[in-house]
Amino acid sequence: MTKQSYLSHSKIDIYFKQSKDDFVVDEIPLYPFSGSGEHIVLKIRKKDLTSWQMISDLSNHIGCNHREFGYAGLKDKNALTTQYISINKKYEERLSSFSHNKIKILDKTYHNNKIKIGHLKANKFFIRLKRAKPQDIPKLNNILQKISQYGMPNYFGEQRFGIDGDNYKYGQMILKGEKKEKNKKLKKLFISAYQSYNFNNWLNKRVEISNLVTQFSKDELKNILDFDERSIKQLKSQKHPFKLMLGDIMNHYPYGKTFELEHMQDEVSRFEQKLISPTGLLCGIKTKFATKDASVYEKEFLPDFSLDIDGSRRYAWVFPQDIKSAYKEEKNHFEVEFILPKGSYATELIRIMRNSE
């Protein structure tokens, strides 16, 4: 699938490969830690290790089950990453003798509760792009300015789908009863990949429609979109590159309550102000579904078989913050810093910059 973008520019020949030197991730906690309580909170920096490998090494050293550790999210292996993990205070003395050439405990504090998945506000990224040509620097900075102004589609990155990109196929087979998977972690991984695959295809369609609305007149759109004249007029009136539809399931941004879009003019204004954002479906039960115009395209990407998993909603559009860039002319390096909400992929922002598939 070629992912659609609202930015139209030729491909920029710039080199990027994830590594500890060129890809740095710092976790931003959801809330300040209390400084007291039954749980130690460790600020840890790791390199060339997955979060699971790091936790495994720590648990082996102190002699506990890896499930006793709490963490907010998983961090990339091919990167220099900083994150917070928690463990009961009874292991504090054993931790004092921990030493590892790829793991460093930077700081320690305490908290009342164990850190849980999702207890994360955002991630701050530093990325170094190499072989940057001087003539491409204005173009790269212009792209970043547009992303800062309008945001970007919140696609799942390719790493979500496994080395061969086909984990979603196994997830579909499991859900259809055509394949059994005894390993619970793998089963969850495959099913999640299938949900992510459907989400990406839906989002791709919505970005494509938004681009058509921008490019064609109202009369031309009558022959392209299966909407009435009133709906097309509402779409054409929006200045933002991602066009909202009546019935979209919106969410306050960067977190908050979910609601259905009913009053187009008011909600378009709030979207432009980055106060709310549309969401896409991670297919399953026990979740809100789009209605009205938005349901036309959401239904197109629903499975044609019954599901017995819980669904959820994911931001379709996110707004990177604090975007900064610098060009190191002597090395032809273009360096970028930015903050993304939890669950968003920095590699997608880089893909948009490079205009790569």
For residue 13, being part of any structural domain is answered with no
- Domain match, 342 and 229 both: yes
- The answer to whether residue 1 scores a pLDDT higher than 80 is no
For residue 12, being part of any structural domain is answered with no
- Output the pLDDT for position 9: 84
Confidence of residue 2 (pLDDT cuts 50, 70, 90): confident
% residues pLDDT > 90 (the chain): 90
Rounded CA separation 199/201 (Å): 5
- Domain match, 181 and 309 both: yes
- Output the pLDDT for position 191: 96
What does the CA dihedral 256, 260, 266, 269 come to, rounded to 10 degrees? 60
For residue 3, being part of any structural domain is answered with no
- Domain match, 328 and 252 both: yes
Q: What is the pLDDT of residues 198-217, one digit of tens each?
A: 999 999 999 999 999 999 99
Q: What is the pLDDT of residues 92-103, one digit of tens each?
A: 999 999 999 999
Rounded CA separation 78/16 (Å): 12
- Bond from prior residue into 303 cis (ω within 30 degrees of 0): no
- Mean pLDDT across the stretch 115-125? 92
Rounded CA separation 282/1 (Å): 18
Residues 6+ apart with CB under 8 A from 231: 225, 245, 246, 293
- CATH code assigned at 108: 3.30.2350.20
Q: What is the pLDDT of residues 303-334, one digit of tens each?
A: 999 898 999 999 999 999 999 999 999 999 99
Question: What is the average pLDDT value for the chain, to the nearest integer?
Answer: 94
- Domain match, 332 and 348 both: yes
Confidence of residue 292 (pLDDT cuts 50, 70, 90): very high
By the 10 Å C-beta count (0-12 exposed, 13-18 middle, 19+ buried), 101 is classed as exposed
Rounded CA separation 157/78 (Å): 15
For residue 343, being part of any structural domain is answered with yes
- Domain match, 177 and 84 both: no
Given 122, 152, 170, which residue is the final one in a domain? 122
- Mean pLDDT across the stretch 173-187? 92
- Domain match, 208 and 86 both: no
- The answer to whether residue 348 scores a pLDDT higher than 80 is yes
% residues pLDDT > 70 (the chain): 99
Given 122, 141, 164, which residue is the final one in a domain? 122
- Mean pLDDT across the stretch 219-242? 94
- CATH code assigned at 147: 3.30.2340.10
What are the residue numbers of the active site? 76
Given 54, 88, 122, which residue is the final one in a domain? 122
- Domain match, 212 and 110 both: no
For residue 113, being part of any structural domain is answered with yes
What does the CA dihedral 126, 130, 136, 142 come to, rounded to 10 degrees? -10
44 three-state secondary structure: strand
- Domain match, 166 and 304 both: yes
Rounded CA separation 265/88 (Å): 51
- Output the pLDDT for position 291: 97
- Output the pLDDT for position 255: 87
- Domain match, 270 and 163 both: yes
- Domain match, 221 and 95 both: no
Confidence of residue 22 (pLDDT cuts 50, 70, 90): very high
Domain of residue 274: give its range.
130-354
- Output the pLDDT for position 356: 65
Q: What is the pLDDT of residues 162-175, one digit of tens each?
A: 888 999 999 999 99
Rounded CA separation 45/100 (Å): 11
Confidence of residue 107 (pLDDT cuts 50, 70, 90): very high
- Domain match, 335 and 217 both: yes
For residue 1, being part of any structural domain is answered with no
- Domain match, 221 and 193 both: yes
Number of folded domains that form the chain: 2
For residue 5, being part of any structural domain is answered with no
- Output the pLDDT for position 118: 85
Residues 6+ apart with CB under 8 A from 325: 140, 141, 144, 334, 335, 336, 337
Confidence of residue 357 (pLDDT cuts 50, 70, 90): low
| Dihedral-angle region of residue 262 (phi above 0 means left; psi in -120 to 50 means alpha; beta otherwise) | alpha
- The answer to whether residue 84 scores a pLDDT higher than 70 is yes
For residue 10, being part of any structural domain is answered with no
Asked if residue 74 lies in contact with residue 98, where contact means CB atoms within 8 angstroms, the answer is: no
- Mean pLDDT across the stretch 128-145? 96
- The answer to whether residue 269 scores a pLDDT higher than 90 is yes
